Structure 1
Amino acid sequence: MTSEVVYNLLESPVSIIHSKTPMHLASHSVRVLDLTTCYVSRSPQLHSIVILPAPEFVWVDPTFLGQFGPSIILNYSTASLDPGNLRGGLVGALCACILGKKGHNIDVFEYRADPRSADEKLSRGKSINLALSTRGRATLARAGLEDLIISNGIPMKGRMLHSVTGQQKKVLYDPNGHQCIYSVSRRDLNNVLLTAAEKMPNVKLHFRHKLVSADPAKGKLQLQNREGHQESLIDFEANLLIGADGAHSAMRQQLLKRRRTNFSQTYIEHGYMELSMLPRPDGKHAMEKNYLHIWPRDQFMMIALPNQDGSFTVTLFMPFQNFDEISSPEDVKSFFRKEFPDALDLIGEELLISDFLSSSPSALISIKCSPLHAQRAVLIGDAAHAMVPFYGQGMNAGFEDVLILDDLLDNWDVHGIEKCLANFTETRREDAQAICELAMYNYTEMRHLVNQRGYYLRRLVDQVLNKVFGNGWVPLYNSVTFTRIPYSQCIQKRKWQDEILEKMKNVFVAGTAVALVGVALQYRSNIPFRIEYLGK
């Protein structure tokens, strides 16, 4: 094929490129690995270069991406993709990192101020330390950040259950000791993700921007710029709008206005309050650090996750009514002395009273939404499926959304973005609802069922069958936490396991009954002989 080098790409409205050799465009050095015939034109609407595919595939080296405005999806020839990503929280920041690595131009709009700023570092904000597991790790790995995050996390190999008397019981996630989850700081993780995204030349972070309106059909946004002393309205347009703006999503509210959407939100009667357990005087953790500590008390519970600085983040989950009944220092001491005596000693009365009485319990919400998209806009993370935090999957599920969306976008072309997002809804809807339900169920398990003998019997049976059948019998918690099996399939497998165990129990009961009847009949047949023998 004849090579043709084009120097006037930016000036020419249309240029035809035939090349399998390196070429130079203006002052930029661009290396093309396998560029077959394609047409390059300027888009007056987006002020960007759009690559319109020829019949053959186009594969472009990443050094080309992002240098002339919009970018190219690598796996197939496509038009450019400029996602406007709303909210710089965990899911939004990681989404920017992963799509940014593909060369897409990303604008991240965050309602709040930069959490890395000096003022924001002084604010406490919400924490509920995060439990990082397989799904989240897989997404971080794609961004090239898994090792960094893991190295700053603390492995937790199981639960440590604390009784009212202070006795402790270890419940390992994996009896063989191979699997664990990681306690990571929400603030530290968010800072790492934002910094990683910010380092990319094709990713721009915009803080203190409030979404005013969105038109998903045209990919248009109107935002209120709250930076500086004077607020102003700005308009923004993108090929793809990604709403990663949390449980109270402004983007979701915009989509609800524009298409028929099934939406439900449920506040549970329990709230949560965060407390602190400081390190010992020698700087070490006050409890064993490689466990998720749980104080189950039937109607409420307390948990503690370790931090790198030797402290624990302690979270009390309890009905709001119970919180309302504790209003004085003596109430706090009395309640903890009765329910959590060992924790009271470890936290210390003075710090506990200060933390408790200076805080108010926060609400816990579960949200389900379907569909998860509208035209050129899509919801991910808590915006799509907020859940109560009792399965440790909120962040992991949100991160997995990014992984799935990224995979689907690899097959997107200029005419197929709506179909791509429809596929995302179809792929993720059932699983999103499944994990919301599992999270709600796990609260009952953590605060109540772990005190029941049946819980440990079932765990023992699951462990034995898992050892015998391997991947043919994976316990529910392990399949959710340590695999990427879709959440809905995890539930289906659990139901199948329940049915098998029920049949085994029935067979055992029936077999035992038959044996007892046989023994009784045998015993009965021997009665006359015994009477006769005794009579002699």
Structure 2
Amino acid sequence: MTPERDEIAVVGAGLAGCLLACFLARRGYRVALYERRPDPRTGKVERGRSINLALSERGLDALRRIGLDTQVMADALPMRGRMIHPVAGEPQFQSYSAAGDRAINSISRGALNNALLDAATALPGVRVAFDHRLVGLDPATGEMTFETPQGKVMATAPVVLGADGAGSAVRGQLLGHGLLRESLDFLDYGYKELTIPPLGGDFALDPEALHIWPRGTSMMIALPNPDRSFTCTLFWPTHGTASFASLGSPAAVERHFAQHYPDLLPLAPNLVDDYQHNPVGVLGTVRCDPWQVTGRVGLLGDAAHAIVPFYGQGANCAFEDVVELDRCLDECADDWSAALPLFQRRRQDNAEAIAQMALANFVEMRDKVASPLFQLGRRVEHALERTLPGRYVSRYELVSFSTTPYAEVRRRVRWQHRVLGAVTAGAALLLAGAVGSVLRRGRRR
């Protein structure tokens, strides 16, 4: 199809871009989705890049608004808690909610992307141009240059929105024009995907849990799939004597997993092949400012604020961005020059809050979940939630099972912890006083 000058351009036909196209089409806009990849519905998935995601309330809220939640949830697998796998001994289950009734949902990223792409292209006024890699952008005019298999293609749009992920070409163009500042904070950890196939036609592990193998300097997780397999993700340093680079031979791979993940080895017959051939992905946090320029070029989702995956909130946060932008357009009567700056003001503190919480949750999952002290703390939190319903709510519940703004979650949890600390300290003083009184009476006798 021929580019139209009045189309809103959305660069990136991933999760956020497709959802954004649906919301914009619902508002009556004509939308052009530009994607550097071939059509993912017909192409081959890159090995080791499936990356299951955990869809929770923020993402579901966005899908409900366009009537896609029921379709997407049909293939979802609810995970009601963490299953902690020690090196020795039986796995231990830790419920996500006090009542044990709430769950995050294991979803195939590819299947969700395809569902959103189908929904977007079914709407009037939406077109998709695959194999279009953005190589030029004039922020003042909205003129874009794309490289395609047929050569360079030019297009112009009144508004250009970058929803093209952590390596955003739109952000790169704005950076090249000197219109924003950017920081990229990479962890010295990477990730590699492994697979646990079905066992005897059924799940090899409990499918109602997110499985975690916490090992201090490394960690592995596993999420269930509808075909009864599990997608495992191993997180490990990228350099050093204990890192991805330290295992060079099949025998070394087997020895390492036999020592550190002994219950996994018999469940993963293709472990060595997966380890040797699947790529190592990078992990990091992207920050930039501003998120928009000239009121006509904007960024959202990972393109504006990529985070590490340890709270399962990357896609959920991006979906929430789309909802907030839609809300800003309502409030600004579709004046993009007012809506885009308002969107940044509303979302930037929240994006920073979840970025910090995601980094902190990596430490929790890797180092703390197996600790008896941590497990006691979780039991105390759940007891408080049952005793003080609605008044005491854990961080995990607020992040995963509500749409409370992330920055407000952080403030509320800090306040709760201060109150709990004060109550605990007061109780300790009363107990100490009571014990002291008893001892003094005993001495007088």
TM-score by length of structure 2 reads: 0.95
User: 1:509 & 1:304 partners in 2: Cα distance?
Assistant: 41
**Structure 2 counterpart of 1:203:** 126
* 1:338 maps to which of 259, 267, 275: 259
The residue type paired with residue 53 of structure 2 is L
Residue 323 in 1 paired to residue 241 in 2? no
User: 1:483 & 1:262 partners in 2: Cα distance?
Assistant: 32
> Does the CA-based 8 Å contact 2:179-2:293 persist in structure 1?
no
The residue type paired with residue 326 of structure 2 is D
**What are the Cα deviations for residues 143-162 of structure 1, in whole angstroms up to 9, with x where unaligned?**
21110000011111111111
**Structure 2 counterpart of 1:149:** 72
**Structure 1 counterpart of 2:362:** 443
**Structure 2 counterpart of 1:268:** 187
**Structure 2 counterpart of 1:99:** 24
Deviation at 1:262, TM superposition (A): 4.1
> Does the CA-based 8 Å contact 2:47-2:278 persist in structure 1?
no
**Structure 2 counterpart of 1:16:** none
* Corresponding residue SS for 2:390: helix
Deviation at 1:216, TM superposition (A): 2.8
Residue 124 in 1 paired to residue 47 in 2? yes
User: 2:86 & 2:4 partners in 1: Cα distance?
Assistant: 64
Deviation at 1:254, TM superposition (A): 2.0
* Corresponding residue SS for 2:106: strand
* Corresponding residue SS for 1:483: coil
> Does the CA-based 8 Å contact 1:259-1:374 persist in structure 2?
no
**Structure 1 counterpart of 2:320:** 400
User: 1:363 & 1:112 partners in 2: Cα distance?
Assistant: 20
The residue type paired with residue 397 of structure 1 is C
User: 1:122 & 1:382 partners in 2: Cα distance?
Assistant: 21
Deviation at 1:256, TM superposition (A): 2.6
Deviation at 1:324, TM superposition (A): 1.1
The residue type paired with residue 402 of structure 1 is V
> Does the CA-based 8 Å contact 1:370-1:429 persist in structure 2?
no
User: 1:280 & 1:449 partners in 2: Cα distance?
Assistant: 30
> Does the CA-based 8 Å contact 2:284-2:308 persist in structure 1?
yes
* 1:303 maps to which of 221, 224, 227: 221
RMSD: 1.7
* Structure 2, unaligned runs of 5 or more: none
**Structure 2 counterpart of 1:418:** 337
Deviation at 1:263, TM superposition (A): 2.4
**What are the Cα deviations for residues 91-111 of structure 1, in whole angstroms up to 9, with x where unaligned?**
101111121122210000001
User: 2:89 & 2:435 partners in 1: Cα distance?
Assistant: 44
Residue 288 in 1 paired to residue 206 in 2? yes
Residue 108 in 1 paired to residue 108 in 2? no
1:12-91 pair list within 5 angstroms = 82-91=7-16
**Structure 1 counterpart of 2:59:** 136
The percent of aligned pairs where both chains have the same amino acid is 38
**Structure 1 counterpart of 2:108:** 185
**Structure 2 counterpart of 1:76:** none
User: 1:366 & 1:122 partners in 2: Cα distance?
Assistant: 25
User: 1:232 & 1:217 partners in 2: Cα distance?
Assistant: 20
User: 1:284 & 1:240 partners in 2: Cα distance?
Assistant: 49
User: 1:512 & 1:175 partners in 2: Cα distance?
Assistant: 28
Q: 1:47 to 1:112 in 2, by over 3 A?
A: closer
* Structure 1, unaligned runs of 5 or more: 1-45, 49-69, 71-81, 527-536
**What are the Cα deviations for residues 167-209 of structure 1, in whole angstroms up to 9, with x where unaligned?**
1111111232331111010111111111111112300100111
User: 1:195 & 1:334 partners in 2: Cα distance?
Assistant: 45
> Does the CA-based 8 Å contact 1:160-1:294 persist in structure 2?
yes
Q: 1:198 to 1:353 in 2, by over 3 A?
A: same
User: 2:46 & 2:378 partners in 1: Cα distance?
Assistant: 42
**What are the Cα deviations for residues 426-479 of structure 1, in whole angstroms up to 9, with x where unaligned?**
000000011111111101000111122221222122212211221211100110
Deviation at 1:121, TM superposition (A): 2.4
* Corresponding residue SS for 2:331: coil
Deviation at 1:406, TM superposition (A): 1.0
* Corresponding residue SS for 2:173: helix
The residue type paired with residue 252 of structure 2 is D
Q: 1:257 to 1:139 in 2, by over 3 A?
A: same
> Does the CA-based 8 Å contact 1:158-1:172 persist in structure 2?
yes
> Does the CA-based 8 Å contact 2:83-2:209 persist in structure 1?
yes
> Does the CA-based 8 Å contact 1:367-1:385 persist in structure 2?
yes
> Does the CA-based 8 Å contact 1:296-1:451 persist in structure 2?
yes
Deviation at 1:306, TM superposition (A): 0.5
> Does the CA-based 8 Å contact 2:197-2:268 persist in structure 1?
yes
Deviation at 1:410, TM superposition (A): 2.0
User: 2:360 & 2:92 partners in 1: Cα distance?
Assistant: 22
* 1:237 maps to which of 156, 163, 169: 156
Q: 1:102 to 1:342 in 2, by over 3 A?
A: same
Deviation at 1:377, TM superposition (A): 1.3
Higher relative contact order (CA 8 A, sep 6+): 2
* Corresponding residue SS for 1:279: coil
User: 1:126 & 1:487 partners in 2: Cα distance?
Assistant: 28
User: 1:261 & 1:219 partners in 2: Cα distance?
Assistant: 17
**Structure 1 counterpart of 2:277:** 358
Structure whose CA Rg is larger: 1
Q: 1:220 to 1:462 in 2, by over 3 A?
A: same
* Corresponding residue SS for 1:451: coil
**What are the Cα deviations for residues 349-403 of structure 1, in whole angstroms up to 9, with x where unaligned?**
xx11111112232211111222211121111111011111100000000011001
**Structure 2 counterpart of 1:158:** 81
Q: 1:215 to 1:276 in 2, by over 3 A?
A: same
Deviation at 1:312, TM superposition (A): 0.5
Deviates more, 1:100-109 or 1:511-520: 511-520
The residue type paired with residue 368 of structure 1 is R
Deviation at 1:125, TM superposition (A): 5.5
> Does the CA-based 8 Å contact 1:364-1:388 persist in structure 2?
yes
* Corresponding residue SS for 1:470: coil
* 1:371 maps to which of 290, 297, 314: 290
User: 2:280 & 2:315 partners in 1: Cα distance?
Assistant: 21
User: 2:431 & 2:45 partners in 1: Cα distance?
Assistant: 66
Deviation at 1:47, TM superposition (A): 7.7
> Does the CA-based 8 Å contact 2:310-2:362 persist in structure 1?
yes
The residue type paired with residue 341 of structure 1 is P
